């Protein structure tokens, strides 16, 4: 069973950069998108054989998530049980027979950590939400989580220490989640692999120089670890400042 997660940084723009060809080549059973930047009806995707689920932000041209899946879910939830977190289209949960799939676009702490208090509240509430799901079925949690957990997860850790995405607060939130019964799938399989990034700034020729960050994840309930058969990153796929990340599970 193959899962893909991709922050497309505006789906309408990505569609002009061979999104549909990349989608077909990746051939996933579950395809999760973040930062679609859409309102309902602005695009129609003829994805034959896939069910489509969209969560739109109230603010136009902002945030947004989607999941495309071959198998129809048992149920679908948009957002979490906290109304204050549900206006930006950041979360979709599919209940499948054997697991929950949660697609997330985590709020950015912003320059100067202007939004760090909200980010920390989001992280605490989302952790509670994931742990409640995990009591029922194991969880596959994916998306642009807007944090590089360790120094190995970005090219320039010293100069970025304390910046959004590499602040002590955000890193601590990720560590707390991972100590609560969850596993970072890629780092579990490749604990020492450096230079594996999923996002590059559009500035300073960063992608060509592989001066990037690993901020896109598949995080799974610990009891799914024996079912993992692969995790990978696809920097060869263009169309966004992020690239797709992949998880394979076998049941």
The verdict on whether 172 is a catalytic residue reads no
Decide if 144 is catalytic: yes
Annotated active-site residue in 100, 129, 144, 153? 144
**Residue of 56, 105, 197, 217 marked active site:** 105
CA 113 – CA 63 distance, rounded (Å): 18
The gap from C-alpha 72 to its chain's centroid, in whole angstroms, comes to 21
Active site residues per annotation: 105, 144
């Amino acid at each position: 069973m193959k899962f893909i997660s991709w922050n497309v940084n505006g789906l309408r723009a990505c569609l002009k950069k061979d999104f549909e060809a990349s989608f077909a080549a990746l051939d996933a059973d579950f395809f999760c998108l973040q930062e679609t930047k859409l309102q309902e009806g602005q695009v129609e995707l003829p994805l034959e054989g896939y069910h489509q689920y969209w969560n739109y932000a109230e603010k136009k041209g902002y945030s947004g998530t989607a999941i495309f899946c071959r198998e129809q879910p048992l149920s679908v939830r948009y957002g979490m049980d906290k109304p204050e977190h549900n206006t930006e289209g950041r979360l979709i949960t599919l209940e499948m027979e054997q697991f929950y799939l949660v697609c997330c676009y985590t709020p950015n702490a912003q320059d100067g950590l202007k939004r760090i208090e909200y980010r920390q509240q989001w992280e605490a509430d989302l952790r509670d939400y994931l742990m409640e799901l995990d009591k029922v079925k194991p969880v596959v949690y994916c998306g642009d989580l807007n944090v590089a957990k360790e120094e190995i997860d970005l090219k320039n850790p010293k100069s970025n220490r304390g910046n959004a995405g590499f602040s002590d607060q955000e890193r601590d939130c990720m560590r707390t989640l991972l100590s609560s019964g969850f596993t970072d799938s890629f780092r579990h399989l490749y604990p020492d692999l450096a230079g594996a990034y999923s996002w590059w700034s559009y500035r300073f020729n960063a992608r060509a120089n592989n001066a990037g960050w690993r901020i896109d994840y598949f995080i799974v309930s610990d009891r799914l670890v024996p079912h993992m058969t692969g995790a990978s990153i696809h920097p060869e796929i263009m169309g966004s400042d992020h690239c797709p990340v992949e998880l394979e599970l076998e049941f």
